[in-house]
Amino acid sequence: MDDHQIIEGFKNPATKNKAFSVLLDKYQQRIYWHVRKIIIDHDDTDDVVQDVFIKVFKNLDGFREASQLYTWVYRIATNEALTFLKKRQRKQAWSIDDVNHDLENKLTSGSYIDGDEIQIKLQKAILTLPEKQKLVFNMKYFDDLKYEEISEIIGTSVGGLKANYHLAVKKIEEYLSED
């Protein structure tokens, strides 16, 4: 079942659940890892991923395939993940530094994380980036998405994304070179 078939299947009440199940099988892991890299903590990610797919379920009827299904799902996931961090920041009356500090703590002492020193350092370096650079870097470096796809997901021009990625790479290289 390709994306178009999933969308068509979802419109038919008889095949709706089957189509959604296929969509879940196809995208849940990619979306999970995407969100996990933003939120770091497994349990928080679990909550957000469920919300993402519940939103997808509620809104897929109105999806008109102006963009690709998976960039649309990525978009919802990105938004949900960032909203989650923003909500917690507001709730705890944190500054953005506090948020990053909290994420860094989770990175070093959280469960379900297994990386060597340099791999952890890379994740810490990513945390120091402004949000957009962080997103572009993750999607380009780890997920191998094309700029055109990232552009659909976070709504920035391809040129702007290239500049953001270049800046991100530069900052991360500098961070990794420090002792």
Question: In the bound complex, what is the minimum distance in angstroms from residue 14's beta carbon to another protein?
Answer: 14
Cα–Cα dist 64/3, whole Å: 12
Handedness of CA 59, 60, 65, 71 (dihedral sign): positive
Question: CA of 76: how far to CAs of 36, 45, 82, 87, 175, in Å?
Answer: 14, 14, 10, 16, 30
Give residues 109-148 in contact with another protein (rule: CB under 8 A). Answer: 112-116, 118-120, 122-123, 130-132, 135, 141-142
Q: Reduce the DSSP state of residue 26 to 3 states and report it.
A: helix
Give residues 147-166 in contact with another protein (rule: CB under 8 A). Answer: 154-155, 162, 166
Q: Does 46 bind another protein (CB under 8 A)?
A: yes
Six-digit token string for 38: 């933003």
Q: Does 57 bind another protein (CB under 8 A)?
A: yes
Q: Which is closer to another protein, CB of 49 or CB of 127?
A: 49
In the numeric block, the tokens 């189509």 are attached to 19
Give residues 91-110 in contact with another protein (rule: CB under 8 A). Answer: 96
Q: Does 42 bind another protein (CB under 8 A)?
A: yes
Question: CA of 54: how far to CAs of 21, 30, 47, 153, in Å?
Answer: 12, 16, 11, 19
Residues found near another protein in the complex (CB under 8 A):
17, 20-21, 24-25, 28-29, 32-33, 36-37, 40, 42, 46, 49-50, 53-54, 57-59, 61-64, 66-67, 72, 75-76, 78-79, 82, 86, 96, 112-116, 118-120, 122-123, 130-132, 135, 141-142, 154-155, 162, 166, 169-170, 172-173, 176-177
